[in-house]
Chain A
Amino acid sequence: MRAGPAGRLAWGTLITVLYLFLLAPIIIVFVVSFDDATFLRFPPEGLTLDAYRQVFDNADFRSALQVSAVTASITAGLALLAGVPAALALSRLRFRGREAMESAFLSPLLVPNIVLGLALLVLFAPIPLTDTYTGLILAHLGITIPYVVRTVCASLAGADPRAEEAARTLGANTFTVARRIILPTILPGVVSGGVIAFLLSFDETVISLFVSGQSVTPLPVAVLQYVEYRSDPAIAALSVCLVVLSVLAVVLVERSLGLRRSLRSG
């Protein structure tokens, strides 16, 4: 479509405005986090790093951060242990019911988190696994495994299975094939899947609300409960930290497998 200068300008303006709308909350949070007021206002009148100091001085936030970091690390590790072998089987082996298995491994993404959260509460509360690390990690495992399966499958889909057969024909044993051919092939998928699993677990709010309690409170739950009663620059500073973490993760994923391939649904 060729457009005149006026049309071009209108189109460019529209795209810019849409980008601004999309990024507005992140930009605002960033600006507010440097304000020296103790309440929320805009634009800031004085600049300070007090809000960041408050975040790190707050014992509740510190322990919540620890809970989230531990939970997300273990969840990502377990999701890789469960997801990588499954992805290998799903994309490199032929067996009866393979398609059914593939759907089964992606199906947790079809259930809304609010339903899954309640479901986990109903199952875990009597055992009792609620308000424990074990319960929190198990709760996050179901929603992170599908992403690992998807990213590892995506990295295998781009590779030629004949490379593995050629290596075998040339005398490589199973271990050598796994180390020299399969591992380098799936590595971008494993890295992307692990990072996404970590981030999903770290940011997971709704499911955590159901299975966490007073003693094991992950960061998003602590923030949500804080925000309900007051809003001040400290929360903005904390949000900026979360944004920075996400951006780091995005760069890692983009560098290894590519963001679009990792997140594409279906």
Chain B
Amino acid sequence: MTAGGTGTGTGTGSDRAAPAAAPAVAPRSGPAAPGRWTPARTATALLLPGLVALLLTYAMPLVWVARMAFNEPLPGGAIRQTLTLGTFTDVLGDAHYWRVIWRTVELGTLVTVFTLLLSYPLALFLARTTSRWRGLLVALAVTPLLISSVARTFGWMAILGSQGVVNKTLMSVGLIDTPLQLANNMTGVVIASTEIYMPFAILVMISGFGRLDPELERAAASLGAGRLAVLRRVVLPLTLPGVLTAGLLVFVLSLSGYVTPRLIGGGRVFVLATEIYDEAITALNWPVAAVLSMLLLVLFGLVVVVYTRLQRLVERRVLGEGGTAS
């Protein structure tokens, strides 16, 4: 699986505390006797509880659900154990599921674009601020990440609903007569999801903005570059890798998001995640739910492939330009 581990230590008895130059003072580094605690045996013992837990709670379920995709659903929630591609072809031949897949990609794209646009200025601000409140400001931007998404989605229902904050305010000011339809549709889901994923994007962006150096900007400015030129030629290229990584994370998260589409969508926004849940719990059609899950994983794979290509492209260009800049 990896090339890294095999090169360094096939001899498990080698003790890295004792270099080869001092054999006389390293009596413990002899060949491993049976029953002795070699690093490999210690590692196995230490890793075992975690590996067993992961096997039970992660690896086995995934194998089971993948197997379920090749079973045949029978009417009334019954399942015929078999090995067929029939459920796959049924799902892929159904226009309804294609609409759901398209909706999912559309939602993911919109949410990713808006999240990146709104998170970028905040991340830039946090990366370069010298305020003594910096720690608090970072915490304010990142804390929502650890706050229940059900609670935050409920907050958005109170803001976007027909009796919500936005509509009440606009009506009392007299800008509109009838409430805007901001919830129970795609618009509301996009707005709420954008806010829900912003802390993830900001966190990833701040971590990725390490190469940003105020000295570089000052140097560019002193060489006669205007503000826009500094932003376009120095800041943007240096921060682009971080933005791309944030984009990947947000896209992947919003492709599989369930709580916000279900609550804000009010049963009118159908994406893969809500469809998987409905097929599994309401329709009791596990094979179809499993097939939809596999399609979601395929979608994930495609996104990661595109991201890797883009990241390589960006790295090459930034390194090329950064070489002349620094």
Contacts and interface: CB of A to CB of B under 8 A. Distances in A.
B249 interface: yes
Contacts of B207: 260, 264
Contacts of A118: 65, 276-277, 280, 286, 289-290, 293
Interface stretch (B88-96, B142-150, B308-316, B318-326): B142-150
Given A95-B9, A123-B61, A239-B155, A115 B143 contact: no
Nearest to B271: A114
Contact of A228 (B62, B141, B217, B263): B263
Interface in B1-29: 1-2, 4-6, 8-10, 12, 16-17
A77 interface: no
B157 interface: yes
A196 B143 CA distance: 12
Nearest to B267: A228
Contacts of A105: 50, 54
Contacts of A70: none
A250 B139 contact: yes
Given A15-B125, A94-B16, A86 B49 contact: yes
A69 to B, nearest CB: 14
Given A83-B50, A141-B57, A259-B138, A23 B297 contact: no
A246 B42 contact: no
Given A15-B121, A108-B58, A263-B203, A26 B147 contact: yes
B241 interface: no
Given A21-B195, A224-B150, A95 B258 contact: no
Contact of B118 (A1, A21, A93, A246): A21
Interface string B157-184: 1110101110010000000000000000
A90 to B, nearest CB: 8
Interface residues of A, number: 96
B280 A263 contact: no
Contact of B148 (A14, A115, A123, A242): A242
Interface in B112-149: 118, 121-122, 125, 135, 138-149
21 contacts: A1-B221, A1-B231, A25-B192, A27-B155, A40-B158, A82-B53, A95-B9, A95-B40, A98-B5, A98-B43, A111-B58, A114-B273, A119-B62, A168-B17, A203-B147, A203-B148, A206-B258, A206-B259, A227-B157, A228-B263, A239-B151
Given A100-B1, A249-B146, 4 more contacts: A22-B144, A111-B58, A220-B150, A247-B147
Interface of B: 1-2, 4-6, 8-10, 12, 16-17, 39-40, 42-47, 49-54, 56-58, 60-62, 64-65, 68, 118, 121-122, 125, 135, 138-159, 161, 163-165, 168, 192, 195, 198-199, 203-204, 206-207, 217, 221, 227, 230-231, 235, 249, 252, 255-256, 258-259, 262-263, 272-273, 276-277, 280-281, 286, 289-290, 293, 296-297, 300
Interface of A: 1-3, 7, 11, 14-15, 18-19, 21-29, 32, 39-42, 78, 81-83, 85-86, 88-90, 93-101, 104-105, 107-108, 110-116, 118-124, 138-139, 141-142, 145, 149, 165, 168, 196, 199, 203, 205-206, 209-210, 220, 223-224, 227-228, 231, 235-236, 238-239, 242-243, 246-247, 249-250, 254, 259-260, 263-265
